[in-house]
Structure 1
Amino acid sequence: MSKYIGITMRQERCQTYNEIRDEIDITFYDFLAKCGYVPILIPNNCIILDSYLRSIDFCGFILSGGGLPYPYSNEMTERDYVEKRIMNFAKEHELTVLGICRGMQAIVINHGAELIKVDNHVATVHQIKTVNRMEFKKNSFHRYALKEKNENISILATANDNVIEAVHIKNTSLYGIMWHPERNEEFDIEDINLIRRIFKEEDC
């Protein structure tokens, strides 16, 4: 039974050494281990990604946060191509994808939606309400949010100011959340259970 979850990384230029680096918050390792999964880091390289997709039995994928996806960034990057390839592969093979913050933005953009700039959602904690009327406090680190749903998107949760905080792409196993479960000093049991529900054990 596979427990491997592929996770994408942000790409940053290190001015000191004139290098372009793939980066990930190492708290993801502990968070996914707590959920019962093993993270496989996906480099921002489509050739290596294709090799991984052929050789590794993935349970699913996480599109991580950090930065903005195209066209809200300056240019289409290798990360944009990698994440688009992952989404297409996951749909073809009926695998689950969870987008976190930028990852959710990438998913909704790929399904015809637009983003809008929002206020008071950077470095804060706010209340969110799910469609099942459950309420939770979640962190927030984003300046852009989904403008509105379209025929491809179901809204799963919103903040008190009606900013969309979680979605599901209809007829797929693609999900998105705008908060960062890996950034809590103590991981929330709600987030751990969410990961376990989304990456259903029978699919892994």
Structure 2
Amino acid sequence: MPRPLIGITTYVEESTRYGVWDVPTSLVPSGYYELVQAAGGSAVLLPPDEPGAAAEVLSRVDGLVVAGGPDVDPVHYGAARDPRTGAPATVRDQWELALLTAALDSDTPVLGICRGMQALNVALGGTLIQHIDGHVDTPGLMSWHPVHPVPGTRYAALVPEAAQVPTYHHQAVDRLGRGLVVSAHAADGTVEAIELPDPERWVLGVQWHPERDKDTRVMSSLVEAATTRASSPAGV
């Protein structure tokens, strides 16, 4: 059967210069779609659209990856803005939260990566720590550190050992959203992965950047779940 189609949300840059062009751009680092392809899926990019179009767009794909990027606006979880929180990415916030809601409503397999994990938590009513000190070892550079799986979770079944992961972030999950459980954490207690524990639904978020790694286990599991969904008689 055809490879499952995995939608990947995009970064949105107000101005990107390449060649003679200097224009607003929606893009994604190549590592995202390369990881989907290495895991056996086909990738399609999902640039921002009207939030009301989210369910229609989700009906055309078999799985969803919400990519990394800027801070989620604290207005979406009822918090005052910390001075260290980045500028709002209003269009992207609205689109990705709508996609996540539509994906959860339709049981579309979901993987949130870094910002995507935080957005997943917010979409389910959770909150974020707007700034953590000392977790990213080298400001401005990707750092690596171990994450420890929580036994009994989907993530632990996929990656049972403490794994070194590439990470770059200054925010983290605070109060968990509805139904979510922690499935991995760092040595300092920072939440590193969250998931819905329902075995019939594939919903997982990781705080690190698997697109910068060679480990395909998590993405392969998403692609497998998307394949199962695509081949079901009802298409759901």
Shorter-chain TM-score category?
Answer: 0.7 to 0.9
Root-mean-square deviation (CA, aligned residues, Å) is: 2.3
Over residues 28-72 of structure 1, what are the superposed CA-to-partner deviations in whole Å (9 max), with x where a residue is unaligned? 222111100111100112277566445x2x111000001111225
Equivalent positions of 1:17-166 (< 5 A) are: 19-46=23-50, 52-53=57-58, 56=60, 58-71=61-74, 73-75=86-88, 77-116=90-129, 117-118=131-132, 119-121=134-136, 123-132=142-151, 134-149=161-176, 151-166=178-193
Kindly report structure 1 stretches of 4+ aligned residues shifted beyond 4 Å.
Answer: 15-18, 47-51
The number of residue pairs the alignment matches comes to 197
Deviation at 1:94, TM superposition (A): 1.3
Range with bigger deviation, 125-134 or 62-71: 125-134
5+ long unaligned stretches in structure 2: 75-84, 152-159, 231-236
Deviation at 1:76, TM superposition (A): 5.6
Give the TM-score taking structure 1 as reference length: 0.85
Equivalent positions of 1:183-202 (< 5 A) are: 183-184=212-213, 187-188=214-215, 192-199=216-223, 200=225, 201-202=227-228
Deviation at 1:152, TM superposition (A): 2.5
Between Structure 1 and Structure 2, whose CA radius of gyration is higher? 2
Give the structure with the higher percent strand. Answer: 1
Give the TM-score taking structure 2 as reference length: 0.74
